[in-house]
Chain A
């Protein structure tokens, strides 16, 4: 038997006997003969741990070694504290399922409650759920939530400055869910408030407006007056924000938004080539019963002890079935633990310091590139925190290639000979200087 199976031949024989069949295939007498597999899967044979390790080592060896990451676009290279990694691995957390039995799941329920609190404080919202896959799907869920809250109105306006990948997911959900999505045009790299105003006047069926902060170009947008304008048409304002940046930036709550959503990867979750990450979804209290996904609430037990349970389950898909407005179950539980531990270790000072360091390093990179010449901000004059869109005169593909050869991912390749470049607390002056030297050598080509 394989090392994962405890059955001895004697066990199998006595268990089969109890079941009244003579062999294991006898347990499948109800499966039509023509469906039964006649040969093992065409897959490699059983491997020892060492062989599995070697095989994975071979995959890893095919990746090019990148030590310095100036790529962002919603996902950032932040340091993951050793304590977070260690605690995440505790098998009481790792190998548990959804906390359906609160009596033996207080660990899970308690960290989700802590996570909800921290996310509300970060976004300036009243409530938070704890089960979105990633920032893109969380934004799509926010859209469906706005449509459900608006009853008959099924149009969503989306700023052209929302990231492409998020927009594609929003569009896909909208198409199948019967929601009309219109784009609010951008001017100088930010959403045109005048265009939004025109669209709100033109359409009577707007359920929600989705804006991005910082936006797809790293620009910090000014939403003065936007919430009032949206609310005057009885629509909801949805802000897609990079979670960690809210330690420094005006919060969705402070802008008057109704729903805050986005990716929480920036709060200590490793890059891991795209996942698992964590979508966050926070809202004003009035939207509590429209909120999809798991929510943990505080209560007491029969001995007066404070404890936590999954609450408001009547909202959820397994109860509402085809009346549901979301099919979200429990997800990313462990990632909410990552975020809770990360925020507990870093605290408000740590998060602010990280935001400041990112800005500082991005500013140094920007200044160094400007000093070298041959490049410029795609949208000059627009403020950024830790990410900016640079337009280059040189061959950007060559710059990408030369940088990667040196172990540096210089940013994300964008249309129009541009690079979207981001910095965090992870990159140093030497890293920036190195990238700028490579850039200069490419310019000389």
Chain B
């Protein structure tokens, strides 16, 4: 990463008269067909009134601009990215090539089924693969992201109860350790959130759960392992209790990675789940998307999945084919198309590359890496929950708090050393949460170097605390003023020019 700030905006590189394009000649010109009927005239009032202002740049100016900009960015290909709960694993290059196959890239989503059998087969193949991995009957790949998957899954739960005429079920139970998106998705889906307390180890308190279970409960959302990286070992009991009360179990797939090769959500008693393809199945995060959040359901709930659905059919000649269907019992539609197809293609490429045996190793190696880092660092960092973790774990800041060095300070000091920071101040259960997820694609050498740096930072915190307190020191920018940004939001270049005047 380039530690000098590049910082220019494309608007500042614009010069009148420059251009970065040329359109193909369509050979139409102004010719009209003989005696043909011309299209209706577009009245001036329907046309743009104010001139459009966009940059005027030649191609090289644009290329250098974005290239230079990219050098101020840190990605998985740049260095170790132990961002907890985000599963920043290596994104294999072959996946990019497969997703950009010409035969997929240029296909219009409204092309008739008989013209896109290959695409539908790809969708169906991934759908079946995820069903096998999740222990579910069927998946929809339509949801665009994890949060979108949550929303879709909760709609499935509501559609299920509504179809039974059980319309009073509007409560959804969410652990207090859950990702913030869980309650937000529930609110958007028209459900009322009821929090269940965690025990000190972050797992669901079954005694606190029992009294919440009544005939108004639609279901319960869980992340397993939970956001502390701890496996919810009472899950069979929890699922039994929720089912007995008439509710459905929702599995938030944010933390599915350590369970690959170990156990399947369907076998744990979950009825509905989503998977983040951009986490567990290695599709690149793209600076925050595009992702993909397929939703799976157990047998009996398939008909509630959103439209359109890809179904396998037998053609008239006995061969198998695929068709789009709009089911009458579906919860509705949550997308105009079949979702982020190019992301789905990447995930399938990854699943094929790993194969059955490779997938079995993902969870154990991710868990090994996390436990190794935890064990190596727990002398300097406060580990609130002892014992084995899964793919990630949470420290509650430094052990030695005498110099009042915060988690934020530690995170920022890591940037100086060429690491992305862990997730900080989440989960909310601890004041100084520092959540580390190494993933399975990192080597022992990388982890050892990281561990050494974390020890150095702990030592600095005792010996030269100001170095840590004032970090970062050598990043492209230092200590941006967030407060000013929020107090007086400047969100366009035009607004910026006005403030600079």
**Would you call A60 and B103 a contact (CB within 8 A)?**
yes
**Would you call B288 and A273 a contact (CB within 8 A)?**
no
Q: Min CB distance, B333 to chain A, in Å? A: 4
A349 to B, closest residue via Cβ = B19
> Which residues of chain A have C-beta atoms less than 8 A from B359's C-beta?
40-41, 43
A44 to B, closest residue via Cβ = B355
> Which residues of chain A have C-beta atoms less than 8 A from B338's C-beta?
273-275
Q: Is A172 an interface residue (CB 8 A)?
A: yes
Residue in A31, A45, A89, A344 whose CB lies within 8 Å of B65: A344
> Which residues of chain B have C-beta atoms less than 8 A from A413's C-beta?
112
Instruction: Give per-residue flags for B104-132: 1 if the beta carbon is below 8 A from chain A beta carbons, else 0.
Output: 11111111101111110110000001001
**Would you call B490 and A298 a contact (CB within 8 A)?**
yes
Q: Is B47 an interface residue (CB 8 A)?
A: yes
Among A162-170, A229-237, A437-445, the stretch in contact with B: A162-170
**Would you call B86 and A5 a contact (CB within 8 A)?**
no
Q: Is B169 an interface residue (CB 8 A)?
A: no
| Interface size of A as a range | 35 or more
**Would you call B74 and A247 a contact (CB within 8 A)?**
no
**Would you call A172 and B155 a contact (CB within 8 A)?**
yes
> Which residues of chain A have C-beta atoms less than 8 A from B306's C-beta?
172
Residue in A94, A110, A347 whose CB lies within 8 Å of B54: A347
Q: Min CB distance, A306 to chain B, in Å? A: 6
**Would you call A113 and B54 a contact (CB within 8 A)?**
no
Docked complex Cα distance between A125 and B63 (Å): 28
Identify which of residues 371-391 in chain B touch chain A, using a CB-to-CB cut-off of 8 Å: 371-372, 375-376, 387-388, 390
With contact pairs A79-B24, A136-B336, A346-B54 given, residues A330 and B10 touching in the complex (Cβ less than 8 Å): no
**Would you call A311 and B342 a contact (CB within 8 A)?**
no
B179 to A, closest residue via Cβ = A318
**Would you call B368 and A24 a contact (CB within 8 A)?**
yes
**Would you call A334 and B290 a contact (CB within 8 A)?**
yes
> Which residues of chain A have C-beta atoms less than 8 A from B262's C-beta?
28, 31, 36-37
**Would you call A4 and B90 a contact (CB within 8 A)?**
yes
With contact pairs A75-B109, A104-B476, A108-B288 given, residues A326 and B184 touching in the complex (Cβ less than 8 Å): yes
B103 to A, closest residue via Cβ = A60
**Would you call A60 and B339 a contact (CB within 8 A)?**
no
Identify which of residues 319-359 in chain A touch chain B, using a CB-to-CB cut-off of 8 Å: 319-335, 337, 340-341, 343-354, 357
> Which residues of chain A have C-beta atoms less than 8 A from B42's C-beta?
220, 383-385
**Would you call A276 and B53 a contact (CB within 8 A)?**
no
Residue in B19, B101, B285, B358 whose CB lies within 8 Å of A95: B285
Q: Is A301 an interface residue (CB 8 A)?
A: yes
**Would you call A288 and B489 a contact (CB within 8 A)?**
yes
**Would you call B52 and A55 a contact (CB within 8 A)?**
no
| Interface size of B as a range | 35 or more
**Would you call A92 and B77 a contact (CB within 8 A)?**
yes
Docked complex Cα distance between A337 and B287 (Å): 10
With contact pairs A60-B104, A271-B105 given, residues A53 and B94 touching in the complex (Cβ less than 8 Å): yes
With contact pairs A92-B1, A330-B289 given, residues A172 and B334 touching in the complex (Cβ less than 8 Å): yes
Q: Is A201 an interface residue (CB 8 A)?
A: no
> Which residues of chain A have C-beta atoms less than 8 A from B190's C-beta?
176-178
> Which residues of chain A have C-beta atoms less than 8 A from B154's C-beta?
176
**Would you call A222 and B148 a contact (CB within 8 A)?**
no
**Would you call A30 and B184 a contact (CB within 8 A)?**
no
Q: Is B233 an interface residue (CB 8 A)?
A: yes
Most buried by B among A24, A36, A224, A412: A24
> Which residues of chain A have C-beta atoms less than 8 A from B96's C-beta?
89, 94
**Would you call A299 and B480 a contact (CB within 8 A)?**
yes
> Which residues of chain B have C-beta atoms less than 8 A from A16's C-beta?
368
Docked complex Cα distance between A92 and B27 (Å): 41
**Would you call A53 and B77 a contact (CB within 8 A)?**
no
Identify which of residues 249-307 in chain A touch chain B, using a CB-to-CB cut-off of 8 Å: 249-251, 254, 263, 270-277, 288, 294-303, 305-307
A107 to B, closest residue via Cβ = B73
**Would you call A345 and B20 a contact (CB within 8 A)?**
yes
Most buried by A among B5, B49, B73, B151: B73
> Which residues of chain A have C-beta atoms less than 8 A from B94's C-beta?
49, 52-53
A420 to B, closest residue via Cβ = B110
Docked complex Cα distance between A251 and B48 (Å): 6
Q: Is A202 an interface residue (CB 8 A)?
A: no
With contact pairs A87-B63, A328-B147 given, residues A171 and B357 touching in the complex (Cβ less than 8 Å): no
Identify which of residues 316-349 in chain B touch chain A, using a CB-to-CB cut-off of 8 Å: 331-343, 345, 349
Q: Is A180 an interface residue (CB 8 A)?
A: no
Residue in A73, A113, A168, A299 whose CB lies within 8 Å of B484: A299
**Would you call A371 and B268 a contact (CB within 8 A)?**
no
> Which residues of chain B have C-beta atoms less than 8 A from A163's C-beta?
336
Docked complex Cα distance between A37 and B133 (Å): 11
**Would you call B352 and A335 a contact (CB within 8 A)?**
no
**Would you call B357 and A92 a contact (CB within 8 A)?**
no
Instruction: Give per-residue flags for B203-228: 1 if the beta carbon is below 8 A from chain A beta carbons, else 0.
Output: 00000000000000000000000000
Docked complex Cα distance between A137 and B339 (Å): 11
**Would you call A21 and B388 a contact (CB within 8 A)?**
yes
Q: Is B83 an interface residue (CB 8 A)?
A: yes
Q: Min CB distance, A310 to chain B, in Å? A: 9
**Would you call A55 and B492 a contact (CB within 8 A)?**
no
> Which residues of chain A have C-beta atoms less than 8 A from B490's C-beta?
297-299
**Would you call B286 and A94 a contact (CB within 8 A)?**
yes
Q: Is A27 an interface residue (CB 8 A)?
A: yes
Identify which of residues 37-63 in chain B touch chain A, using a CB-to-CB cut-off of 8 Å: 37-43, 45-57, 59, 62-63
Q: Is A195 an interface residue (CB 8 A)?
A: no
21 A-B pairs in the complex with CB atoms less than 8 angstroms apart: A12-B368, A20-B375, A31-B233, A37-B261, A46-B354, A46-B358, A75-B109, A101-B74, A106-B477, A107-B287, A248-B47, A270-B106, A274-B337, A276-B341, A300-B481, A309-B485, A312-B489, A327-B184, A329-B146, A384-B42, A425-B26
Counting from the closest, the 4 A-B pairs by CB-CB distance are: A274-B337, A172-B332, A330-B288, A46-B355
Given A41-B132, A300-B481, 13 more contacts at CB 8 Å? A31-B233, A47-B355, A101-B74, A108-B287, A121-B52, A133-B145, A277-B337, A303-B478, A309-B480, A321-B180, A323-B187, A327-B151, A425-B24
